């Protein structure tokens, strides 16, 4: 048959969250029921409990009793205290939903640590798509292991494959498609939007339509399943060898200026970084300049004046230059004047 089986699962965190989830599944939250919700109260009598205590509060008590018996102590506020699996059938299916969801429940018990971890299973037939909620206590070997049971992306994909092989395929249901991308995603989103317009779906008049439309365009796979639309795969057009070899690659072509340096048309070359070699220019050799030849003078230490030796530096220093002739004559006159004055004083 056409249509895919859907399995969604989420973590339940916080104290009392299992009781809250059970109240939704048993339709005891009055604010969820009415013209503004997705639940049709005229069909709620068609819902069915496959297993678990008769009341939502008793489902919560069962979880607490199982944890106490296993010796589970006080958990952190952000600890995973439960898991909720939701199995859905495509609209207009001809299957015996009770038999199908019974098999789904048995599979969940085996996959998530044993049938003793199943708290409740409820079939909902009062919404657009028939589905079954299963509440699970992630208790393995006396420890709460919700995160470990779910794992990461690869483990979730393996879980979907295991469910399809064990249950969904036996009922002729296809595997839920992976996240769409590229042209296939665009075609799928267009098909979903067209289906909503053709059927004058109430979602078009919703106050949250803009947000819903964005979600459809971002990930249309789940909407395809909900509306019973077969996904269309768009094959990517392959390029010829000629197109591959003559391709300029991604981005804007900039053959003459690969890294942003401007080059003139005449100087463009095959250089990989866009530089062109400068043309060769002959240079002239300057005429030689005649420089005076300085011959070295050898001076022996024995010829130096010992009075000019500096014991600190260990070297001889230059004697002061002799004064010029007029300076020497002026100095002689000054000395004679001083001596004559002293002689007179004497």
H/E stretch holding 48 reads strand 48-51
Clarify whether residues 118 and 221 are in a common domain.
no
Across residues 94-104, what is the average pLDDT?
A: 96
Which of 5 and 112 is assigned the larger pLDDT?
112
pLDDT in tens, 22-49: 999 999 887 676 555 678 888 999 999 9
Q: For 97-106, 179-188, 246-255, 257-266, which range has the lowest pLDDT when averaged over its residues?
A: 257-266
Residue 27 and residue 106 in one domain = yes
Residue 338 lies in a domain: no
Contact 153, 137 (CB under 8 A): no
pLDDT of residue 217: 85
Percent of the chain with pLDDT over 90: 33
Instruction: Based on the fold, state whether residues 18 and 77 are members of the same structural domain.
Output: yes
Using alpha carbons only, what angle is made at residue 260 by residues 254 and 263, rounded to the nearest 5 degrees? 80
Any domain includes 103: yes
Instruction: Return the pLDDT at 336.
Output: 82
The answer to the question of residue 92 being in a domain is yes
Q: Does 65 map to a domain?
A: yes
Place 170 in a pLDDT band, splitting at 50, 70 and 90: very high
State whether residue 300 is helix, strand or coil. Answer: coil
The reported pLDDT for the residue numbered 104 is 97
- Last residue within a domain, chosen from 210, 233, 256: 233
Tell me the C-alpha distance between 276 and 266, whole Å: 9
Question: Is there a domain that residue 201 lies in?
Answer: yes
Q: Give me the numbers of helices (H) and strands (E) for the chain, helices first please.
A: 10, 10
pLDDT tens by residue, 285-335: 556 655 555 555 555 656 666 666 666 666 666 666 555 666 777 778 877
Pair (96, 125) in one structural domain: yes
Same domain, 184 and 93: no
Q: Looking at the structure, do residues 40 and 63 belong to the same domain, yes or no?
A: yes
Asked if the structure places residue 89 within a domain, the reply is yes
Same domain, 16 and 53: yes
Residues 290 and 284: beta-carbon distance below 8 Å: no
Question: 71 with 126, same domain?
Answer: yes
Say whether both 139 and 191 belong to one domain. no
Do the domain assignments include residue 339?
no
Quick check: is 337 in a domain?
A: no
119-145 core/surface letters (b: 16 or more CB in 10 A; e: else): bbbbbbbbeebbbbbbbbbbbbeeebe
Alpha carbon distance, N-terminus to C-terminus of the chain: 148
DSSP string, 270-293: S-TTS--PPPP---PPPPP-----
Same domain, residue pair 43 and 69 = yes
Query: What DSSP designation does 123 have?
Result: E
Mean pLDDT across the chain: 79
> What residues pair up with 293 in beta bridges, in sequence order?
none
Could you list the residue range(s) of the whole structural domain that residue 191 is in? 178-233
Name the nearest CA neighbour of 101 among 45, 173, 151, 29: 173
CATH number of the domain that residue 80 is part of? 3.30.930.30
- Pairwise CA distance, residues 120 & 133, whole Å: 8
| Among 96-100, 230-234, 265-269, the least confident range | 265-269
Domain count, the chain: 2
Does 227 lie in the same domain as 131?
no
């Amino acid at each position: 048959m056409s249509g895919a089986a859907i399995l969604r699962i989420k973590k339940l965190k916080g104290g009392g969250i299992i009781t809250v989830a059970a109240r939704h599944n048993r339709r005891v939250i009055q604010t969820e029921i009415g013209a503004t919700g997705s639940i049709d109260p005229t069909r709620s009598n068609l819902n069915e409990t496959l297993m678990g205590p008769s009341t939502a509060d008793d489902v919560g008590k069962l979880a607490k009793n199982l944890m106490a018996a296993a010796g589970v102590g006080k958990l952190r506020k952000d600890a995973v205290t439960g898991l909720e699996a939701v199995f859905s059938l495509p609209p207009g299916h001809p299957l015996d939903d009770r038999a199908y969801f019974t098999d789904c429940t048995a599979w969940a018990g085996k996959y998530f640590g044993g049938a003793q971890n199943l708290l409740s299973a409820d079939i909902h037939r009062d919404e657009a798509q028939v589905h079954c909620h299963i509440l699970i206590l992630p208790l393995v070997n006396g420890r709460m292991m919700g995160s470990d049971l779910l794992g990461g992306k690869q483990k979730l994909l393996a879980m979907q494959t295991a469910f399809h092989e064990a249950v969904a395929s036996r009922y002729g249901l296809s595997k839920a498609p992976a996240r769409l991308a590229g042209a296939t995603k665009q075609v799928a989103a267009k098909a979903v939007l067209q289906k909503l317009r053709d059927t004058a779906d109430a979602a078009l008049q919703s106050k949250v339509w803009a947000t819903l439309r964005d979600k459809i365009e971002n990930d249309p796979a789940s909407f395809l399943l909900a509306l019973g639309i077969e996904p269309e795969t768009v094959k990517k057009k392959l390029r010829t060898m000629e197109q591959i070899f003559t391709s300029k690659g991604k981005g804007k072509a900039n053959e003459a200026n690969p890294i942003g340096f401007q080059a003139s048309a005449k100087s463009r070359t095959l250089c990989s970084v866009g530089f062109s070699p400068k043309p060769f220019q002959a240079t002239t050799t300057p005429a030689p300049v005649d420089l005076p030849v300085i011959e070295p003078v050898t001076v022996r230490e024995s010829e130096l004046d010992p009075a000019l030796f500096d014991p600190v530096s260990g070297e001889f220093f230059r004697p002061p230059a002799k004064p010029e002739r007029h300076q020497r004559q002026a100095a002689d006159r000054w000395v004679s004047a001083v001596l004559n004055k002293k002689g007179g004083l004497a």
